[in-house]
Amino acid sequence: MERVRSLQRLLARSFAGKLMAVKRVSENRGKRTAGVDNELLDTPAKKWRQAKKLNLADYKPQPLKRTYIPKKNGKKRPLGIPVMQDRA
């Protein structure tokens, strides 16, 4: 248990881990879905800036973008879409 925690901490604080997090967020199926800030990570420069901004001490998460998607019975269910920085 202690070893897992130390490895998680090492991964979360390493710059390579931050780059991998940004890569996974910007190259998955939801990469074209923007949050409330309407920002996408579509250029290498934006991805680099995002990786450098991860894990800042004064960061507060932004609210979710709320959209409603239809269900099979005709009703709709809410879906919360976070901004790219919160996803990473």
Q: What is the pLDDT along the chain (88 residues), one digit of tens a residue?
A: 899 999 988 888 888 888 888 888 888 887 888 888 888 888 889 889 888 888 777 778 888 889 999 999 999 999 888 888 888 7
Cα dihedral 8→37→66→58 (10° resolution): 40
Sequence-separated (6 or more) residues with CB below 8 Å from residue 12: 55
Angle at 37 between CA 46 and CA 78, to 5 degrees: 125
Q: Is 0.75 topped by the overall pTM?
A: no
- Tokens linked to 77: 């269910």
List 78's β-bridge partners, or say none. Answer: 68
